[in-house]
Amino acid sequence: MSHGVMVMVLIVYYSWQGHTEKVARALAERVGGRLARIEPVSEVGTLRKAMMATFGIRAAIRPTETDLSGVNFLIVATPVWAQKAPPYVNEYLSRVTNASGKPFSVLVEMGNSGAEKVVAIVRKSLEAKGMRFVSSATTLESDVDAGRFDRTVEEFARTIVEAAAPAA
Ligand SMILES: Cc1cc2nc3c(=O)[nH]c(=O)nc-3n(C[C@H](O)[C@H](O)[C@H](O)COP(=O)(O)O)c2cc1C
């Protein structure tokens, strides 16, 4: 991003199998954002993952950047689990502080369905903290595997750069 005023974009992501991470990294290059990984204290089995997501449960994560005092724009990148958000993402969202009035965007990575539901979950959580929703984008696992996600990232990045640019 090129403007006179420094805009601090934080891209926080959770990725179990690397797809969300790939997209988050590409996005960070585009918007000049800083990456922060949400790391579970312990990973559980796949069935348990789906169960925890289904019921909107939160699960312990390692310390990561949740105080947004120095952040001007937050991007949350997450996979879809059982049409919901992973428990570690739920935990991250619940811990966010000093977020009021700040803009955010959501990047959802999935096999084939559920992105809108996950966007709604993230929105509900962050809007309750006074944050302002800007945009969302979805990538498909098959496209990420094939390296076909540049255009999605580019278009998504544009919405963020436009919203983050200080008014002239
Ligand atoms: C427990 C679990 C549940 C999942 N549920 C869904 C789902 O409901 N809809 C979907 O499209 N993909 C679902 N997926 C597929 C993931 O969203 C997809 O594999 C994604 O690329 C994973 O991102 P990652 O590699 O960053 O972990 C699920 C994956 C796991 C492990």
Residue pLDDT, tens place only, 1-24 = 455 467 899 999 999 999 999 999
Domains of the chain: 9-164 (3.40.50.360)
Residue 164 confidence (pLDDT): 84
In this structure, the residues whose C-beta lies within 6 A of any atom of ligand 1 are: 15-21, 46, 49-50, 79-83, 109-114, 141
| 119 Cα to the center of ligand 1, angstroms | 14
What is the number of the ligand 1 atom nearest to the C-alpha of 18?
Answer: 25
Residue 105 confidence (pLDDT): 98
Give the tokens for residue 91.
């935990």
Q: Whose CA is nearest to atom 3 of ligand 1?
A: 81
| 145 Cα to the center of ligand 1, angstroms | 13
Residue 49 confidence (pLDDT): 97
Give the tokens for residue 129.
């903290």
More confident residue, 7 or 28: 28
Residue 11 confidence (pLDDT): 98
| 81 Cα to the center of ligand 1, angstroms | 5
Q: Read out DSSP for 34-94?
A: EEEE--BSS---HHHHHHHHHTT----B-----B-TT-SEEEEEEE-BTTB--HHHHHHHH
| 96 Cα to the center of ligand 1, angstroms | 24
What is the per-residue pLDDT across 73-132, written as a single tens digit (0 to 9) for each?
Answer: 999 999 999 999 999 999 999 999 999 999 999 999 999 999 999 999 999 999 999 999
